[in-house]
Amino acid sequence: MITLEHIAMEYVPGREILKDVSLNLKRGSFHFITGSSGAGKSTLLSLLSLQYRVSKGRIRMFGEDVTRLPRQELPRLRRRVGIVLQDYRLLDHLTIAENVAIPLKIAGESPEMIEDKVEELLEWVGLPDYHDARPAILSGGQKQRAAIARAVITKPDLLLADEPTGNLDSDLSLRFMYLFEALNAGGTTVVVATHDEHLISEFEYPVLRLKDGRLSNS
């Protein structure tokens, strides 16, 4: 279970982006987070991915109080989290295959296993012909597909997706949602932040709504 207890987050002193947010994510659950631009969706995902420390409150993940852990302990927990960000975060000096392989290399997988898994994921996301391509030549939608492949390749305990279908057509958006569902069926906790109400309506998962930094259920 992942628990947020009365957390607050401020980048500028006195200006809270998140205000008194409490949340329980059971292992293997699937949630949407929605809200208008600036409501705090990306900030919440950044906290769940352990990129930042909370200003107030406490976060417990994977049985540990991460607000009290030394910073050098955080990478160990981050390896259990897959994340798809709006700006892709692909490394321009690496090929697409090398970008997708990064989590496996960090996990210490063998070169043979890495090659097999990367080939399988690139085929699945429709990028088999871009194995040796650099990110600069890809469209926004193709970069998003590569970022999704990288995020899911280790079958993480927690998958966080920030507007993962924003650059994809409706058919491909549903295809990736089904991939997220398959991971969820295998035990991965999934949190998808999106403003796409049509996409949300296609699935019967709990929706968490952020407004002015506060969280409510719907």
Please, which residues bridge with residue 56 across strands? 8
Q: Quick one: pLDDT at residue 64?
A: 94
Helix (H, G, I), strand (E, B) or coil at 178: helix
As a whole number, mean pLDDT of residues 42-67 equals: 93
Q: Quick one: pLDDT at residue 38?
A: 81
Q: Quick one: pLDDT at residue 196?
A: 87
Q: Does 14 have pLDDT greater than 90?
A: no
Q: 88-105: b or e for each residue (b if 16 or more CB lie within 10 Å)? A: bebeeeeebbbbbbbbbe
Q: Which of 190, 210, 163 is nearest to 21 (CA)?
A: 210
pLDDT per residue as tens digits for the range 133-187: 999 999 988 998 899 999 999 999 999 999 888 878 888 888 889 989 999 999 9
Q: Quick one: pLDDT at residue 118?
A: 97
Share of the chain above pLDDT 90, in %: 73
Rounded to the nearest integer, the mean pLDDT of the chain is: 92
Residue with tokens 């500028």: 12
Strands 2-12, 64-65: pairing kind:
unpaired
Q: Are 165 and 32 in contact (CB under 8 A)?
A: no
Q: Are 212 and 39 in contact (CB under 8 A)?
A: yes
pLDDT per residue as tens digits for the range 131-147: 999 999 999 889 988 99
Reported as a pLDDT band with limits 50, 70 and 90, residue 218 is: low
End-to-end CA distance of the chain: 20
User: What single-letter DSSP state applies at residue 72?
Assistant: G
As a whole number, mean pLDDT of residues 112-123 equals: 95
pTM for the whole structure: 0.90
Strands 56-61, 2-12: pairing kind:
antiparallel
Residues 6+ apart with CB under 8 A from 104: 113, 114, 117, 118, 153, 154
pLDDT per residue as tens digits for the range 46-56: 999 999 999 99
Q: Are 166 and 144 in contact (CB under 8 A)?
A: yes
Reported as a pLDDT band with limits 50, 70 and 90, residue 11 is: confident
Chain CA centroid to CA 174, Å: 17
Please name the amino acid found at residue 154. T
Q: Are 87 and 146 in contact (CB under 8 A)?
A: no
Interatomic CA distance for residues 141 and 138, integer angstroms: 8
Cα-flanking dihedrals φ and ψ of residue 96, to 5°?
A: -60, -45
Interatomic CA distance for residues 41 and 154, integer angstroms: 24
What distances in angstroms separate CA 138 from CA 130, 152, 161, 168, one per listed residue? Answer: 9, 20, 20, 13
Length of the chain equals 218
Q: Quick one: pLDDT at residue 122?
A: 95
pLDDT per residue as tens digits for the range 90-103: 999 999 999 999 99
